Amino acid sequence: MHLIVVGLSHKTAPVEIREKLAVPESRLGEALGRLCTYPGIREGVLLSTCNRVEVYSVVDDVEAGYGRIQEFLADTHLSLSSEQLTPHLYWHTGDRAIAHLFRVAASLDSMIIGESQILGQLKDAFEVALGHKTTGVIMNKVVKKAISVAKRVRTETKIAETAVSVSYAAVELAKKIFSNLEEKTVLLVGAGEMAKLAARHLIAQGVQHVRITTRTPQHAVDLAAKFGGTPVPFEQFKSEMASADIVLVSTGAAHYIIGAEDVERAVEKRGNRPMFLIDISVPRNIDPAVRHVDNAFLFDIDDLTQRVEQNRAERLQEAEKAERMVVEEVGAIIEWMKSLEVTPTIVALRNRVEDIKRAEVDKALGRLGHLSQQDKELVENLASSIVNKLIHRTMVTLKSEVNSSNGPAFVEAARRFFHLDQSSVEGPEAGRCVDRAKYLDSVSEESEHQEQESPLRKRGR
């Protein structure tokens, strides 16, 4: 069994390709069902967002699995042929596939490093796969670990703590000036998109009062309704500035519409309480001389952009810490998967010796009909004890050597010594997604036992 991922993202495909390949949430279940009809596909999770479409799968053969999933993607979107898709696709298997999933979950592969949306999208994709029974022991373990890794990255690094958009940088600065934004009032002058977005962020952070003015009165009324605020006539906004703790300006004017004297009067009316002014206009709409007004704090688009670039640099530093966490966690999962490889052989071995013991004990007890129930139990216990002692060393060796370079040789030797043919090792239900998941669930108890004994677990990981 091999874990692979096939997909494309904003790094490999333009939006016109990504939007064609995207799978709507309403069709995810149907798409997963079709994925599992392809030969050799054991488990599958489909992650589809605006920036990526990826299929994570457990397959019998890596190369065949790559081909099946590429075929599935092309079949899902008939407007795209395999030839059109191939240049944009990436393929990973084993530790590279696991590392990719962990990086995606931790937003290290996102367009904006540290964004939080992708983790929720991965959780949703996983829930759909669980609901349609297209995952088993391996995929369940790996995806849950990916979610855990993402949470660890957010807890142990500052990758998501700083703003990397101009609109949110304005909010970040406002919080430095006003430690608490609740009960604060925002005056929005103009209707620029960045200013409106900043206003939304401020409201999300607790700002409860919004006043809006534009040169077009009806536009101000419409925006006020959208923000749950109050429209202000444009010719009166300067007198309203005294009631605003935060002034957001974004108009199309080619000159300053707020001067230093306007701000001085407003601050004086406020009893010298601080006023935060954000000029997102280009050309600027607030006279830079406002910076010299006591208790007035002015930031323009360049200030916000500089702040964003500093924050991006900080996020990249934190991302380096996160990358080291990913490497560490991938090692733990790879070790678990190696231990899982031996599990079917161990289960088959136990079943074989149990069958032999059962047949021989039944034969003996049939000839010893005069034995009491207590004596029969003694015979049963004796046979079990002999069998357990005979295979104990084999079991210990298989478990201890599975992670070594000679692990596959030990597994193969055990199969030959005990005449474990492939069908007994794979199980009678080895087949497509759902069947394979049922089979793996039947041996999950043994795999969990293996995990508990791993060196990483012993070290407290």
The edge-to-edge listing of strands for the beta sheet with 41-48 is: 41-48, 52-59, 2-9, 90-93
Instruction: Tell me the CA distances in angstroms from 371 to 357, 358, 378, 451, one per residue in order.
Output: 19, 17, 10, 43
Q: Tell me, what CATH number does 265's domain have?
A: 3.40.50.720
372 with 252, same domain? Answer: no
Rg (CA), the chain: 32
Range of the domain at 273: 166-294
Q: Is the C-alpha dihedral spanning 367, 373, 378, 381 positive or negative?
A: positive
Does the annotation count 36 as an active-site position? no
- Tallying the residues shown for the chain, one arrives at 461
362 with 344, same domain? Answer: yes
State residue 424's pLDDT score: 52
d(C-alpha 15, C-alpha 8), whole Å: 11
282 with 364, same domain? Answer: no
Question: 228-261 as b/e, with b when 16 or more CB fall inside 10 Å?
Answer: ebbbbebeebbebbbebbbbbbbbeeeebbbebe
State residue 446's pLDDT score: 44
State residue 122's pLDDT score: 96
**Residue 305 covered by a domain:** no
d(C-alpha 151, C-alpha 410), whole Å: 37
d(C-alpha 137, C-alpha 125), whole Å: 17
* Enclosing H/E stretch for 333: helix 301-367
Task: Kindly name the residue from 15, 50, 225, 327 that is annotated as catalytic.
Answer: 50
**Residue 109 covered by a domain:** yes
366 with 228, same domain? Answer: no
Q: Tell me, what CATH number does 35's domain have?
A: 3.30.460.30
Identify which of 73, 64, 2, 85 has the alpha carbon closest to the alpha carbon of residue 34. Answer: 73
State residue 46's pLDDT score: 97
Instruction: Tell me the CA distances in angstroms from 443 to 246, 347, 348, 403, one per residue in order.
Output: 61, 7, 10, 19
**205: number of CA atoms within 13 Å, CB side?**
23
152 with 12, same domain? Answer: yes
List average pLDDT for each run of 10 residues in the chain, which is 461 residues long: 93 89 89 93 94 94 94 82 87 95 94 85 95 93 95 89 74 85 90 80 87 92 91 94 93 92 96 93 92 95 86 86 93 81 80 90 88 90 91 83 71 81 50 48 44 39 37
State residue 359's pLDDT score: 92
Identify which of 317, 336, 323 has the alpha carbon closest to the alpha carbon of residue 103. Answer: 323
**Residue 135 covered by a domain:** yes
**Residue 310 covered by a domain:** no
State residue 212's pLDDT score: 93
Is the peptide bond between 283 and the residue preceding it cis, with omega within 30 degrees of 0? yes
State residue 116's pLDDT score: 82
369 with 262, same domain? Answer: no
d(C-alpha 263, C-alpha 218), whole Å: 27
SS3 449: helix
229 with 362, same domain? Answer: no
**What is the count of structural domains for the chain?**
3
SS3 298: strand
